[in-house]
Amino acid sequence: MLEGYRKGVFAMSYWGLMYQWWSPDPRGILPLDGLRASRSLRKSASHYRVSFDEDFDEVLAFCADPQRPGGWIDPGLEAAYRDLHRLGHAHSVEARDSEGGLAGGLFVVNIGGFVSGESMFHRARDASKVALIGLVERLRDSGQPVLLDTQWRTEHLASLGVVDVPRPHYLARLRQVIDLPDVW
Q: What is the pLDDT of residues 70-122, one digit of tens each?
A: 778 989 999 999 999 999 999 999 999 999 999 999 999 999 999 999 999 99
pLDDT at 163: 98
Residues 32/171/4/26 CA torsion (nearest 10 deg): 80
| pLDDT tens-place string over residues 123-140 | 999 999 999 999 999 999
103 close to 51: Cβ distance less than 8 angstroms: no
| pLDDT tens-place string over residues 8-60 | 999 887 655 668 888 999 999 999 999 999 999 999 999 999 999 999 999 99
pLDDT at 16: 58
Instruction: Give the C-alpha distances (Å, rounded to integers) separating 137 from 6, 78, 98.
Output: 24, 26, 21
* Spatial CB neighbours of 12, under 8 Å, sequence gap ≥ 6: 19, 20, 22, 72, 77
Q: Coil, strand or helix: which one is 83?
A: helix
| pLDDT tens-place string over residues 151-181 | 999 998 999 999 999 999 999 999 999 999 9
Q: Around Cβ 118, how many Cβ atoms within 10 Å?
A: 21
**Residue 117: which of 152, 82, 141, 143 has the closest Cα?**
152
- The residues spanned by each domain of the chain are 2-177
Determine the CATH number of domain 2-177: 3.40.630.70
Omega within 30 of 0 (cis) for the link into 26: yes
Q: Please tell me what DSSP assigns to residue 98.
A: T
Order of strands across the sheet that contains 102-111: 49-52, 90-96, 102-111, 114-122, 147-151, 27-29, 163-165
* pTM (predicted TM-score): 0.94
**Residue 118: which of 83, 88, 91 has the closest Cα?**
91
